[in-house]
Chains A and B, each alone.
Chain A
Amino acid sequence: MSSIDLTTVRPAVQAIVHAYHGKSTHLLQMLWRVQEKYSYIPELAIDSLAGELNLPRAQIAGVAGFYSFFHQQPRGQYDILFSDNIIEQMQGKVELMAYMLKKLGVQCGQPRPDGRVTVDNTSCIGMSDQGPAILINGHTIARLTKSRIDTIVDLINYQVTLAEWPKEFFEVHSNIQRKHILLGGYFEAGSALQVMLKKGADLSLAELGHSGLRGCGGAGFKTESKWLICRNTPADEHIVICNADEGEPGTFKDRILMQRYADLMFEGMTLCGYIINAKKGFLYLRGEYRFLLESLEAVLDRRRKDGLLGDNILDTPGFSFDIEIHLGAGGYICGAEIALIESIEGNRGIPRRRPPPFPVTQGYLGKPTVVNNVETFALATKVMVDGAERFNTLGTAQSKGTKLISISGDCDRPGIYEFPFGITVREVLEACGAQEVQAVQNSGAAGYCISPEEFDRRLCFEDLNTTGSFMIFNRTRDLMDLVRNFANFFVHESCGFCTPCRVGTSLLQQYIEKFVSGNGNAYDLQEMATLSHLIKTTSHCGLGMTAANYVQDTMKKFPQLYQKRFKSGSSLSPSFDLDAALNEARKLTKRTDASAHL
């Protein structure tokens, strides 16, 4: 760690700002560089950044203060974050974390007095098929066990640099269990671009339309329409953004695509660039996937060398397109495209603007912008090489082709499954070897909790929409653990912009804790229903509108979850312990007699 005084901080910050050509849109990347140097964002660095970028220091402090991976206080030389998704809790995360804290002699969230290490929690890092998992200085270690922790603790105590740690610790498995049109078959980089150039932009777009491809991020907007609207919006510049901020707990499909199929994604972005006449593309890589950064940059470099990116792509005069990777810094909200664009612009990831206009006509810096998910771009590439027919003959009337499902939790074979749309929940469960299933949480924390009565429903836009996260809970599980985990998740991830989501998610958490401690009652249940409805119907953005889904679903489908926790013999219980509240007064008055108690 470098020492912190203005004479050293200022030149360091100047060099960082210079490396990004002084562009304030790159503020997040600059903050990353600062933190890599100091382990946190020192106040002096904020002052220097403000000076160099000619921005108010409070604006920079506000950005640094928004993202959960940026720290205001020094962290340990080894900064460890445990993925705190419910699936990892089921895999033993809580016990393993306690074990590590004890072995390291460190408090959760507090640096060890010698400054060597910090251990803390973070939201799902996309490893639930191979959890429990941690991030250590941004790098992923999955499949934690006690013995692995023993080794990690030794490595930390002996101050071994990460580069010298056993290579296998940092191996992330793909766990691809079922391939179809997207994951199957060989793809030669550049082949989709060649098809497109032969066809021309109009016919290529028509082919996409014919395929029926819809956005895989959740909303399911027709890809052809999105690209067409963007292309037809006059502007000096158009932009392509690939959303790789898959923050829904339990999802990891985009990770697999970026690990193993990065060319499909980048080529899809390049296709889009040609069709909508964009020269610039961004990949918004979630901070949790920092470990993919070098390999993705290597793919980009190779594509540049091969004439698949840059000027005159495939020797086509005027076809210029390049891609820049924007590394996120922890924030589920940034998966929402308006917040994501704010983040790429160097702002707090808050969905300030309320559409219309949508990003497709007014997006990044006000320019028409296509934002699509990793999977959507990859599929667009496949449609181009394999033809629309291969795609639209699969699936259902409104949902063509296939969908990647990330499966985790109680099953024999967790991992990635590619199924044609229209498959039933039951068929998915059979494929992954799940037995005695009590519930499936579909589409992450913002999604739906599915009970066995619904297992014949079909995964498609017409019936059960899915973003591709499938977390399985067998009959031995207490779903209250899921409820509690999601309550904490939304408290942590609410961006804080609007009142109902900012305050309401914490109020819901209070009610849930009341049930967890066995003090809930029928009135509280009614209050939770009212509050959930309120959050859903008055919040500013999609996060708030879905932040109480898990309460509404579990209350409706698993009412006994709450009822069995009713405080017996009482229809009303106060929200705090009356007698315990008198503790301080008793202490002050030195009273211990019976009448000082309730």
Chain B
Amino acid sequence: MTQYDITIDGQKVSFTEGQTIMDAALAAGIYIPHLCHHPEFAPHGSCRVCTVTVNGRNTTACNTRAMPDQVVLNNTKELEATRRAIVQMLFVEGNHLCPGCEKTGNCQLQAIGYYVGMLTPHYTHFYPIRAVDASHPDVAIDFNRCILCELCVRASRDADHKNVFALSGRGLKTHLIVNSPTGKLADTNFAVTDKAAQVCPVGAILHKRQAFVIPIGERLYDRQPINLVGDLAQSNPQGATTHG
């Protein structure tokens, strides 16, 4: 396959035809922060955290095709501020209370918050009221922390072929729904071993009885920043747990 080059922050990075900027960066070991992207699924482009500057214009790395001689900026003060603001938006939109969340230290939203230098939520909290679904014997869903990345939607549809999840509503009222007449997870064929149970980048889809198997302080992003260890799903397919 013919190799071409782009530059990311001045560094030459090769790619093959059809690859996105994100693909090329991941292959070259360059970290571009992202939440809704997962290399096993088609690019989505909804979180906008992977915003980079290509030939002077902002675009998302995950769904922009690499083209020969593109000049990509990734690690700049401006982009850090942009990404910080987007992460802050995600924080105030939901109810993300890191100290009380069992996913702390294993949460990509939290880890990216640290990575982009987020010290405060900056914007006014929306404090939405969202019910928790603990109906399933092995998995709980805390919708308060859902960032609408649709990774579970995609994984359940494309990998598990179960279509357990979908989005409903519009705008700020967009929300994750479960494919059962009752709307409860227990009334679906969802299983803890499903791919969709392993891909949540935040603390929305939780494996029961695994919350503190790894103590706080010893978790993935407690030990190393996300730019060095990458996504939760890649570094540990069982998510937050060692026993899965």
Residues of chain A touching chain B, judged by Cβ–Cβ distance below 8 Å, are 43, 47, 56-59, 61-62, 64-68, 331, 348, 354, 491-500, 502-507, 510, 530-531, 534, 537-540, 575-576
Contacts and interface: CB of A to CB of B under 8 A. Distances in A.
A109 to B, nearest CB: 14
A61 B89 contact: no
Contacts of A497: 46, 174
B176 to A, nearest CB: 9
Given A68-B170, A500-B86, A500-B89, A62 B48 contact: no
Contact of B172 (A62, A64, A491): A491
B49 to A, nearest CB: 8
22 contacts: A43-B181, A56-B163, A58-B166, A58-B178, A66-B168, A66-B169, A67-B170, A354-B63, A491-B171, A493-B171, A496-B172, A497-B174, A499-B47, A499-B89, A499-B93, A510-B124, A531-B85, A534-B86, A537-B82, A538-B86, A540-B45, A540-B48
B173 A496 contact: yes
Interface string B116-133: 000000011010000000
Nearest to A500: B48
Given A59-B163, A537-B58, A65 B48 contact: no
A503 B92 contact: yes
A47 B171 contact: no
B174 to A, nearest CB: 3
B179 to A, nearest CB: 4
Contacts of B123: 507, 510
Contacts of B178: 58
A62 B45 contact: no
A62 B166 contact: yes
Contacts of B179: 56-59
A202 to B, nearest CB: 33
Interface in B145-204: 147-148, 163-174, 177-181
B48 A498 contact: yes
Given A58-B179, A496-B173, A499-B90, A65 B168 contact: yes
B44 to A, nearest CB: 8
A504 B60 CA distance: 17
Nearest to A506: B172
Contacts of A576: 124
Nearest to A72: B168
Could you say which of A495, A505, A506 has the most chain B C-beta atoms within 10 Å of its C-beta?
Answer: A506
B14 interface: no
A58 B165 contact: yes
Interface string B89-100: 110110000000
Given A58-B163, A499-B46, A538 B172 contact: no
Contacts of A495: 170-171
B51 interface: yes
Contacts of B164: 58
A67 B165 CA distance: 19
Contact of A331 (B58, B147, B170, B172): B170
A503 B168 contact: no
Interface in B63-80: 63
A66 B167 CA distance: 9
Given A65-B170, A492-B171, A540-B48, 4 more contacts: A66-B170, A499-B48, A531-B85, A540-B60
A65 B168 CA distance: 5
Nearest to B49: A499
A59 B167 CA distance: 8
Q: Which 4 A-B pairs have the closest CB atoms?
A: A65-B168, A496-B174, A58-B166, A58-B179
Contact of A538 (B82, B93, B173): B82
Contacts of B45: 354, 498, 540
Interface of B: 45-49, 51, 58, 60, 63, 82, 85-86, 89-90, 92-93, 123-124, 126, 147-148, 163-174, 177-181
Nearest to B92: A503
Contacts of A354: 45, 63
Contacts of A62: 166-168, 177
A575 B124 contact: yes
Contacts of B85: 530-531, 534
Nearest to A575: B124
A141 B90 CA distance: 41
Contacts of B60: 540
Nearest to A354: B63
A494 B181 CA distance: 28
B113 to A, nearest CB: 14
Contacts of B93: 499, 502-503
B167 A47 contact: no
A494 B132 CA distance: 26
Contacts of A503: 89-90, 92-93, 172
B172 A61 contact: no
B46 A61 contact: no
A65 B169 contact: yes
Contacts of A538: 48, 51, 58, 82, 86
A502 to B, nearest CB: 6
Contacts of A494: 170-172
Contacts of B126: 506
Contacts of B181: 43, 47, 57
A496 B92 CA distance: 15
A498 to B, nearest CB: 5
Contacts of A492: 171
A498 B47 CA distance: 6
Could you say which of B147, B167, B173, B178 has the most chain A C-beta atoms within 10 Å of its C-beta?
Answer: B167
A4 to B, nearest CB: 14
A205 B113 CA distance: 54
A43 B183 CA distance: 10
Contacts of B163: 56, 58-59
Contacts of A491: 171-172
Could you say which of A498, A499, A539, A540 has the most chain B C-beta atoms within 10 Å of its C-beta?
Answer: A499
A502 B82 contact: no
A496 B171 CA distance: 4
B171 A61 contact: no
Contacts of B172: 491, 494, 496, 502-503, 506
Given A59-B163, A491-B172, A507-B123, A540 B46 contact: yes
A506 B128 CA distance: 13
A538 B85 CA distance: 11
A56 B183 CA distance: 12
Contacts of A507: 89, 92, 123-124
A502 B174 contact: yes
A510 B123 CA distance: 10
A59 B170 contact: no
Contacts of B166: 56, 58-59, 61-62
B173 to A, nearest CB: 7
B167 A348 contact: yes
Contacts of A540: 45-46, 48, 60
